[in-house]
A and B are shown apart, each in its own frame.
Chain A
Amino acid sequence: QSALTQPPSASGSPGQSVTISCSGTSRDVGGYNYVSWYQQLPGKAPKLMIYEVTKRPSGVPDRFSGSKSGNTASLTVSGLQAEDEADYYCSLYAGSNNFFGSGTKVTVL
C-alpha cells in the first residue's frame, strides 16, 4: 500500500499563500499524473479542488493551484481567505488502486 506523506499542519495570514506538499516515490506520485486534491470542511464530504496534478474543476477559485516536481506534488492556496480553513488531502489514482495522503490542516491566522 502506497503512503503519501503530507505535513500535519500549515498556516498563513489572510492574503498570504500556503503550499502543502504530498510526498511519494517514483512508483506512485513520480510515476502517475492522476494526482488530485480535496478540501474537507468539518462534518462535510470532501470537495475536489484539483485533478490531474494541475487542473481545476469549474467553480473552484483560481487561488487554488497544483503542481508536481519529481516525487512530490503540491497544492498552493494564494490570497488565503478565512473560508479556506479546512483539511486538505492529496490522492493518487494508480489504476487498480487509489491512495489518499495523510491530510493537512490549514489554519488561517
Chain B
Amino acid sequence: QVQLVESGGGVVQPGRSLRLSCAASGFTFSSYAMHWVRQAPGKGLEWVALITYDGINKYFADSVKGRFTISRDNSKNTVYLQMNSLRAEDTAVYYCARDRVVFPTGALGYWGQGSLVTVSS
C-alpha cells in the first residue's frame, strides 16, 4: 500500500534552515508528481510546493518563493523540502502528498502523517 513518511521537523531559530524528507513506498515513485502542504496550528491548509515526476519542473506558493526549494531523488524514493530563512509564520505541520494518478490534477489521494516545524527563538 502507498506510504508516505515525513521526517526532519523540529524547533529552529528564525533565519535558520531546515530540510524535510518524505520517504515513499508502495508505488512507482518516479512516475508521480509530489506536493508539500502545510498547516499552521489551528489554521487551514496551505499548499507549499510541487515537483513533477522527473524533478524538472518545480512550483511554489508566493509565501515561500525564493526561500524554499523542492527536490527529489528517484533512486531513493524520497522528496525533500529545503527551507531557508525561516520565519515564525512558517511554523506548521508539513505534509507531503501524492496525486491520485500519474497525470497531476491536484487531487491529493495520499498523505503522510505530517512533520511539525516550529520556528522560534
* Interface, chain A (partner B; CB < 8 A): 1, 34, 36, 38, 40, 45-48, 51-52, 57, 87, 89, 91-93, 96-103
Residue contact B111 to A91, C-beta cutoff 8 Å:
no
Stretch of B24-32, B43-51, B76-84 with 4 or more beta carbons under 8 angstroms from chain A? B43-51
Chain B residues closer than 8 Å to A101, beta-carbon distance: 44
Kindly state the separation between the CA atoms of A36 and B100 in the bound complex, as whole angstroms. Answer: 11
Chain A residues closer than 8 Å to B2, beta-carbon distance: none
Question: How does the 8 Å CB contact mask read for B31-73 relative to A, with 1 for contact and 0 for none?
Answer: 0000101000000111100100000010101110000000000
Option from B37, B62, B100, B113 in Cβ contact (under 8 Å) with A51: B100
Kindly state the separation between the CA atoms of A20 and B90 in the bound complex, as whole angstroms. Answer: 29
Counting chain B residues whose Cβ lies within 8 A of the other chain, the interface size class is 20 to 34
Report if A89-B44 is in contact (Cβ < 8 Å); known contacts: A51-B100, A57-B100: yes
Task: Add 15 more A-B contacts to A38-B45, A89-B44 (CB < 8 A).
Answer: A1-B62, A34-B105, A34-B106, A34-B107, A45-B111, A46-B37, A57-B109, A91-B106, A93-B106, A98-B47, A100-B44, A100-B45, A100-B46, A101-B44, A103-B44
Report if A46-B107 is in contact (Cβ < 8 Å); known contacts: A1-B62, A57-B100, A98-B35: no
* Interface, chain B (partner A; CB < 8 A): 35, 37, 44-47, 50, 57, 59, 61-63, 95, 100, 104-109, 111-114
Residue contact B104 to A93, C-beta cutoff 8 Å:
yes
Residue contact B111 to A46, C-beta cutoff 8 Å:
yes
Closest-by-CB residue of B relative to A104 is B44
Residue contact B107 to A93, C-beta cutoff 8 Å:
yes
Report if A103-B105 is in contact (Cβ < 8 Å); known contacts: A45-B114, A48-B100, A57-B100: no
List the 10 shortest-distance A-B pairs measured between CB atoms, nearest first: A93-B106, A51-B107, A45-B111, A98-B47, A103-B44, A96-B59, A100-B45, A36-B107, A48-B109, A34-B105
